[in-house]
Amino acid sequence: MRSKAGLVLLALAVFFTALSPLLRWYAFPRLAKIPPSQYQEVVLEAKPATLVDYGTMQPKKVEKLTIVQTLKGNVEESEKIEATADRDVVVWDALTFVAGPDGKMVSTIPERYIFDAHSQDPVHATGEMVDGDAVQRRGIEFKWPFLTEKRDYEYYDARARSTAPIHYRGTREFRGMEVYYFEQTVPWTKVPYPKKMPMPGIDSTKLEKQTGTSMWYTTKRMFWVDPVTGAPVNGEEIHQEEMRGGSLLGGRDKVTAFAGHVKMRPDYVDSTVALVKSNRTLVLLLTSYLPWGFLALGLALLGLALWWEARGRRPAPPSTDRHLPSPAPTPTA
């Protein structure tokens, strides 16, 4: 190119065209991450529900059961693990608090969930646990990866301490958003008693050995997931727990410990959707809006540079001036 303007346009075209894939494939994995200090609280309810009365060991219908689930980022622990993990790590200290209709505790289950800040893959490190028991998770929990795909995922069930597929069941509309719907059914599985239960004077960790009464659990969980951020905007469970056999039941084969259709409280659905929509825009900037916009701008600048060069090489039009004959000399007298 001969003109300075053409060279500048060409340089800008190369810059923006090269920036497009860099944003998508280099910047996005490094910038789209779960913050280590994130705090989130969700309230779920089962209305109505069935609960066992531990005084009489009889199931009873109750108007409402409330589950408060909190996720709190542990920055100090994440920094310790990052020192040896060679990647960005998030540590969530989670707590599931179940309360009866009177607000009194039914059970409390703490968790420590350690995972990759971008991919959400579990990271195995000291402190990973469920209800005080050391575990090694396999699969996701709580959140799907950024840019969720239309496929099944491995999902970790903290109650059963096991991993099973959670199945993609199609695309749906939810609160004006296009979301992916997932389902997982955990069959009846023998599970440990929660370590904290409303049974004064009884050590729940020894309850099965002392009485022979075991705890069993099954659930059908459903998630509506925003595919851009991987964050669930709604979740439900059809949850059942039974106590089976042993001397604690007075000769009965089984007693329902808990049964109910658990749903997110509407106000928490509203706040979750609003939060996901704002985060969705930031992810789309890195994965779609800016990369495609810079690519289009680069191609437009390249076209302008070529046009400018072609314009500079165009030959000048022939001159239209003609040589007029010199005027005749004026005759002298």
pLDDT at 119 over 80: yes
Residue type at 131 in one-letter notation: D
pLDDT score for 326:
56
Do 48 and 191 have their domain in common?
yes
pLDDT at 181 over 90: yes
Least trusted range by pLDDT, from 24-33, 211-220, 260-269: 24-33
72 in a structural domain: yes
Pick 167 or 327 by higher pLDDT.
167
Highest mean pLDDT out of 191-195, 248-252, 327-331:
191-195
Residues 6+ apart with CB under 8 A from 249: 57, 213, 243, 255
pLDDT at 333 over 50: no
**93 neighbors 110 (Cβ within 8 angstroms):** yes
40 in a structural domain: yes
CA–CA separation, 293 and 298 (whole Å): 9
Do 109 and 23 have their domain in common?
no
106 in a structural domain: yes
Distance of CA 223 to CAs 142, 227, 318, Å?
A: 10, 12, 75
pLDDT at 37 over 90: yes
Do 139 and 218 have their domain in common?
yes
Do 226 and 145 have their domain in common?
yes
332 in a structural domain: no
pLDDT tens, residue by residue, 102-114? 999 999 999 999 9
- Computed on alpha carbons and rounded to an integer, the radius of gyration of the chain in Å comes to 33
What HEC string does 204-260 produce? HHHHHHHHCCEEEEEEEEEEEECCCCCCEEEEEEEEEEEEECCHHHCCCCEEEEEEE
pLDDT tens, residue by residue, 59-76? 999 999 999 999 999 999
Do 187 and 308 have their domain in common?
no
pLDDT score for 208:
92
318 in a structural domain: no
pLDDT score for 330:
56
Do 125 and 219 have their domain in common?
yes
Do 302 and 203 have their domain in common?
no
Last residue of a domain, one of 205, 229, 264: 264
pLDDT score for 14:
82
Q: How far apart are the first and last CA of the chain?
A: 66
Region for 243 from its dihedrals, namely left if φ exceeds 0, alpha if ψ lies in -120 to 50, beta otherwise: beta
Do 236 and 97 have their domain in common?
yes
61 in a structural domain: yes
269 in a structural domain: no
pLDDT score for 1:
47
- Domain count for the chain: 2
pLDDT at 312 over 70: no
Place of tokens 């994440």: 78
295 in a structural domain: yes
Entry pTM:
0.86
Token pair, residue 96, equals 């599931």
Output the DSSP codes for 278-315: HHHHHHHIIIIIHHHHHHHHHHHHHHHHHHHHHHHHSP
| Banded model confidence at residue 18, pLDDT cuts 50, 70, 90 | confident
pLDDT score for 329:
59
Of 42, 43, 48, give the one whose Cα is nearest residue 261. Answer: 48
| Banded model confidence at residue 308, pLDDT cuts 50, 70, 90 | confident
CA–CA separation, 173 and 233 (whole Å): 11
Do 21 and 45 have their domain in common?
no
180, β-bridge pairs: 171, 225
Helices marked H in the chain: 4-22, 28-31, 75-85, 207-211, 266-284, 290-313
Helices marked H in 86-142: none
Strand, coil or helix: what is 18?
A: helix
pLDDT at 155 over 90: yes
Residues 6+ apart with CB under 8 A from 65: 45, 46, 47, 49, 51, 98, 99, 100, 101, 106, 258, 260, 262
Do 285 and 195 have their domain in common?
no
Domain limits at 91?
32-264
CA angle 153, 46, 70 (to 5 degrees): 60
**172 neighbors 181 (Cβ within 8 angstroms):** yes
68, β-bridge pairs: 43, 97
pLDDT tens, residue by residue, 81-102? 999 888 899 999 999 999 999 9
Do 128 and 23 have their domain in common?
no
* Exposed e or buried b per residue across 242-272, where buried means at least 16 C-beta atoms within 10 angstroms of its C-beta: bbbbbebbeeeeebebbbbebbbbeebbeeb
Residues 6+ apart with CB under 8 A from 178: 171, 172, 227
Strand, coil or helix: what is 111?
A: strand
Do 115 and 231 have their domain in common?
yes
